[in-house]
Amino acid sequence: MTTTITFPLSPAARKERATQEPAWVRWSLIGLALMFLTLFLFIPLISVFYEALKKGSDVYLAAITHPDALSAIKLTLTVAAIAVPLNLVFGVAAAWAIAKFEFRGKNLLITLIDLPFSVSPVVSGLIYVLVFGLQGWLGPWLAEHDLKIIFAVPGIVLATVFVTVPFIARELIPLMQAQGTEEEEAAVVLGASGWQTFYHVTLPNIKWGLLYGAILCNARAMGEFGAVSVVSGHIRGSTNTLPLHVEILYNEYNFAAAFAVASLLALLALVTLALKTLIEARNKQHQKQRGHE
Amino acid sequence: MSTFKQHSILPGFNLALGFTLLYLSLIVLIPLSAAFIRTAELTWLEFWTIVTTPRVMASYRLTFGASFAAALVNAVFGLLVAWVLVRYHFPGKKLVDALVDLPFALPTAVAGIALTALYAGNGWIGQFLEPMGFKVAFTPLGIFVALTFIGLPFVVRTVQPVLEDIESELEEAAATLGANRWQTFTRVIFPALFPALMTGFALAFARAIGEYGSVIFIAGNMPMISEITPLLIITKLEQYDYAGATALSVVMLVISFILLLIINLLQWWSRRRSIES
């Protein structure tokens, strides 16, 4: 026998569960959070585009097609095109060693990989000056052989590689740890070589994590300011990346042009966030599907 | 057989670990050691004199004070934002969630000039604050604003997953036992979130201490008043004072390493907490 017990609740109270706040609390908290985000996030983002276009599209186009701006774009793309693949290879190698094998000192190694994230960008640049600069360890030898690293493109690349070392590795390590080693072991037992195993078994499993890490790595590589600023020497048209070009224009009180170039970097940031969100949504869906199987 | 590595049939361990160690040494460890080795050329007294001059001490006070204040504001509002994003529904929530990471993706120089333009006397926000007596741009207050911006995602992103994982049964039990929502929050939910909150706070603080790009535009960079330690390193470098710049960067590195250790401990604590519950 089933009996229905009814409680004398008002309709409003019935809708409100015991584990939820009253509506006025909910909306006040939402309002407060959005106010904070508007003040510190949304308005700064909008203002970049507003300031960039304030003086009209002619000024905007002139600023981003100026030869100095174009050479800054070229250098920024070049630096990212070297730094991201290098850290990609590193990330895969580090994750393979750490996630697929058990060895002593593993936690120390993981901490060392994360180290560049906790070093101030300024210090990241300075240490390369100490190694390759004229006063540095290799400075005299480099000068003798007419090689220039500091205040030249190689220094910018090195500083950028340093600050972006952890991005791909720290994405792949937990992913590959979670996937375990059974699939790879099965492939090896069935006679696949190491490279075949990696290419046909591991890579398909980690490709989205790899892409995710590469996107974040790329955003930082293109946007790095402090470290690059120390080693660049700020030579217009030759060692100026986009963020450094923004600084130069800004310090010359050429605000419209500075914001125009900055808007390109802001667009890069938005594209990065969009791709990141898409990959996260895809992963979530994938996990759900796996859960249903 | 060495006991260094457990046996595995998978190939590539030596190659992968060898490459990882070589790369880390060349890119990270040897350059970092340069700072310590070059500083070791100084005597203890010389080192101490360089890193404790009044101008340097003023820069520490400013850097740590502003970073602490910014991390604190981010702890409070980061918790609020994480709460709202996990627990409530409102229009545009997905967009807001995605944009929280903007400070990670936006180059610091862009953030710096945008915040300066906003908070200057004639800027969108500055024009309202200045008549009330708040000068933000080109003062230490501006540094606080920039550091709040760049630290914003840390607390949100560390608290959010923990909040998502809290079992609703716990809260239901608390409600059944007669707790009101505020009691449930302070006695049940908040203690579960606390390790993650502390981790996020420490991450935001560590990031703020080293920050350079977003700060220098808005700071005004007046010695003794609004000059952060990373800027002082650059200033010394531009004056060819390599010993001074290196000594200061060693101080910064040691502080970063201590913070990294604390963060690792906090994360370990946070993980243990979530396993226990």
For the stretch A194-221, pLDDT in tens is 999 999 999 999 999 999 999 999 999 9
> In chain B, what residues touch A276 (CB-CB under 8 Å)?
98, 101, 105
Q: What CATH number has the domain bearing residue B65?
A: 1.10.3720.10
Whether the per-residue pLDDT at B60 is higher than 80: the answer is yes
Separation CA A235–CA A12 (nearest Å): 68
Residue at B20 is within a domain: no
pLDDT tens for each residue of A141-196: 998 999 999 999 999 999 999 999 999 999 999 999 999 999 999 999 999 999 99
Model pLDDT, residue B272: 82
Q: How far is the alpha carbon of B224 from chain A, nearest alpha carbon, in Å? A: 20
Pick among A34, A45, A111, A122 to test the B interface (most B CBs inside 10 A): A122
Residue at B17 is within a domain: no
Model pLDDT, residue B197: 95
Prediction pTM value: 0.92
Lowest average pLDDT, out of A62-66, A132-136, B230-234, goes to A132-136
Whether the per-residue pLDDT at A8 is higher than 60: the answer is no
Residue at B9 is within a domain: no
Separation CA A159–CA B142 (nearest Å): 28
Model pLDDT, residue B2: 54
Residue at B107 is within a domain: yes
Task: Domain of residue B202: give its range.
Answer: 43-276
Q: Do A243 and B29 touch (CB under 8 A)?
A: no
Q: Which of A26, A29, A127 sits opposite B35 (nearest CB)?
A: A127
Lowest average pLDDT, out of A15-24, A92-101, B159-168, B211-220, goes to A15-24
> In chain B, what residues touch A129 (CB-CB under 8 Å)?
237, 242
Residues with Cβ within 8 Å of B46's Cβ and at least 6 positions away in sequence, in order, are B243
Model pLDDT, residue A4: 55
Residue at B16 is within a domain: no
Mean pLDDT computed over every residue of chain A? 90
Mean pLDDT computed over every residue of chain B? 92
Q: Are A202 and A98 in contact (CB under 8 A)?
A: no
DSSP per-residue letters across B15-78: HHHHHHHHHHIIIIIHHHHHHHHHHHTS-HHHHHHHHTSHHHHHHHHHHHHHHHHHHHHHHHHH
Model pLDDT, residue A48: 96
Q: Do A126 and B176 touch (CB under 8 A)?
A: no
Chain A CA closest to residue B111: A44
CB contact A256 to B (< 8 Å) = no
Q: Which of B11, B24, B94 sits opposite A194 (nearest CB)?
A: B11
Whether the per-residue pLDDT at A290 is higher than 80: the answer is no
Q: Residue A17's pLDDT band (boundaries 50, 70, 90)? A: low
Residue at B117 is within a domain: yes
Residue at B13 is within a domain: no
> In chain B, what residues touch A120 (CB-CB under 8 Å)?
209-212, 230, 233, 249, 252, 256
> ipTM score of the complex?
0.92
Q: How far is the alpha carbon of A47 from chain B, nearest alpha carbon, in Å? A: 6
Whether the per-residue pLDDT at B74 is higher than 90: the answer is yes
Count structural domains, chain B: 1
* Of residues B98, B100, B139, B150, the one with CA closest to residue B116: B139
Residue at B14 is within a domain: no
Q: Residue B1's pLDDT band (boundaries 50, 70, 90)? A: very low
Would you say how long chain A is, in residues?
293
Lowest average pLDDT, out of A187-201, B23-37, B177-191, goes to B177-191
Model pLDDT, residue B169: 85
* Of residues A227, A257, A225, the one with CA closest to residue A54: A257
Separation CA A109–CA B46 (nearest Å): 34
